[in-house]
Structures are given as structure tokens and as C-alpha cells.
Homo-oligomer: A and B are copies of this chain.
Amino acid sequence: MVDKMIRKIRQTNAPIVVGLDPMLSYIPHHIKRTAYEEYGETLEGAAEAIWQFNKEIIDKTYDLIPAVKPQIAMYEQFGIEGLKVFKKTIDYAKSKDLVVIGDAKRGDIGSTSAAYAVGHLGRVEVGSKKYAGFDEDFATVNPYLGTDGIKPFVDVCKEENKGIFILVKTSNPSSGEFQDRLIDGKPLYEWVGEMVDKWGEEHMGQEGYSYVGAVVGATYPEMGRILRKIMPRSYILVPGYGAQGGKGKDLVHFFNEDGLGAIVNSSRGIIAAYRQEQYAKFGAENFGEASRQAVLDMIQDINQALGH
């Protein structure tokens, strides 16, 4: 799956991923109105609005991008109805040949971590049958519990030809509270990065990159430069571009010299583009077109910064 992601990045010349993190406040009124007319102001109504919103954004951008990253929290907040739309969104994105990164930040130990891995990336056994629960291509994983938490994911990834991105240095302001603390002279995120490199050895793709990637925030480009070297074979998923303040020029250090090695996420900056002054001319009715233009602008910004 890391090979497919690389192939799609080359095809589109766009090392980017669109974060499908729909908040109801991002969704244009006409979409919500139609959904509430059919289902009422209910969890089903909210889920229907999210689905129509996601579908339009995928329809208007899928030919430009290699991947989408639905953030499961934004669906889970609506309970079962929300999670049905999470699944529906995954399936629809895959039907458009997009790589799907489930941003779940799961992490537990032993058989419990294995259950998460099976539910998101693998297939669960029921008697003599096997079923995929959510069936993303990649999932994000939290490293706080150590190898016991990661190994079950890697095992499932090997079976299913899928991958993970492990949180190393997150994009938020307080990420340094624990992640930046020095241990034997090196910050915790570097220790985690070294483990990511080691975990990845076990499961390499054919393009020189492993199935075990890392999350490193665009908001910390200097740390990105160091982590790039510590984990040369890991793809870096880079959140924090756009709305969180990361700029195209900050991203250079996250890439390898082969021009690969990083995939940059933008969520709000793309999916709620129509609410920005820059794209207001599209109007709420044409929010999908606004998202398409925002994707085109993001690709240009990044490729300019990379000198492509």
C-alpha cells in the first residue's frame, strides 16, 4: 500500500492528502437543510449532511490527489450514525482509487492493539468466515505504550499489505510537554523516531520505503529535518499545513532527496475553503469547486517550495 501511495503521488505530482474532518459548522446550509428535512435534526440527519458534503468534496478532488484522511473522531462524535458515514466515506474514496488513511490515533497493548489493527486494517474471523470492519489502507497509531502496542499493527499490516503512521512529533502547541523532553540528551520524539525506523525494517515496500510511517507536524520544520534523517525509509505524514500555520517552504525538510518521503495533509484549508475570503467567489453552493481550487493552489505552493 505504501507502493500504491507512492505511485499515486507520482501520477498526480501532488504529495498531499485531503483531511476529511467535517464539522457541522463547515457544511453549507443548503446541505444541512436538505438532510434535516429528510431525517430531522437527528444523528441520522447530521450523518447524512456529512455524507453529502464528503461525497461532493471527493467528487471534485479525487483526480488531483493521491489520498484522503478521514479523522474518525469527527464521525465518532455522532455515535453509530457517524461511524456508518465514516465507513461509507472510506468505501467511496476507495471506489475512486484513493488511498485512505484512517486518522484514528489508536493504541493499546497485545490482543487489544491487535483488535484495533484487525478492525481498521485487517479482517476479523467469525467462525469460518472473515470480514473487514472499516478497511482503511493506513491508520495512525499512538506510540506511548511501546512495542507491545505497535507490533500487533505491524503484524496485521504484513498480512494485509497495509501500513501505519506512528505519532512522533505532533503539530499542536503543547506537543512539546512530553515529546520534546530530553532523555540522555535527545528529545523523546527522536527516540520514538528511532523506534519507527526499527519497526519499519520488518515491513518494507518495493520503492525503498517502509509500511511504518510517522506523523510529524509541519509546524516544527527543524524537528522535521532531524527526523527525516533518523527515519530515512519512513513516509512522513505532515499535518499542520495551512490552517494550523505551516507554510510550503516549511515542508522542504520533510522530503528526501528523491522528492518522496512526505505527504502533507490539509483539512479545514481544503474542505472549508469556500468560507475563506480567497475562495468566497465560489459561494456556498459551489463549495466543492472551492475545495478543488484550494487543492490546486496547495499543490502549486508545495511544488514551488520543493522546486519541482
Contacts and interface: CB of A to CB of B under 8 A. Distances in A.
A113 to B, nearest CB: 7
Interface string A227-261: 00000000000000000000000000000000000
A41 interface: yes
A144 B77 contact: no
A196 to B, nearest CB: 12
B76 A126 contact: no
Contacts of A137: none
A87 interface: yes
Interface string A109-144: 111110110111000111111011110000000111
Contact of A45 (B120, B126, B167, B183): B126
B183 A146 contact: no
Contact of A146 (B76, B143, B149, B177): B177
Contact of A115 (B73, B83, B112): B73
B146 A178 contact: yes
Contacts of A175: 109, 145-146, 148
Chain B CB count within 10 A is highest, among A126, A142, A188, for A126
Interface in A68-89: 71, 73-74, 76-80, 82-84, 87
A21 interface: yes
Given A73-B112, A149-B172, A191 B181 contact: yes
Interface stretch (A6-14, A56-64, A100-108, A283-291): A100-108
Nearest to A195: B177
A78 B174 contact: no
- Nearest 7 A/B pairs, CB to CB: A79-B133, A41-B127, A146-B174, A146-B177, A77-B119, A109-B172, A73-B115
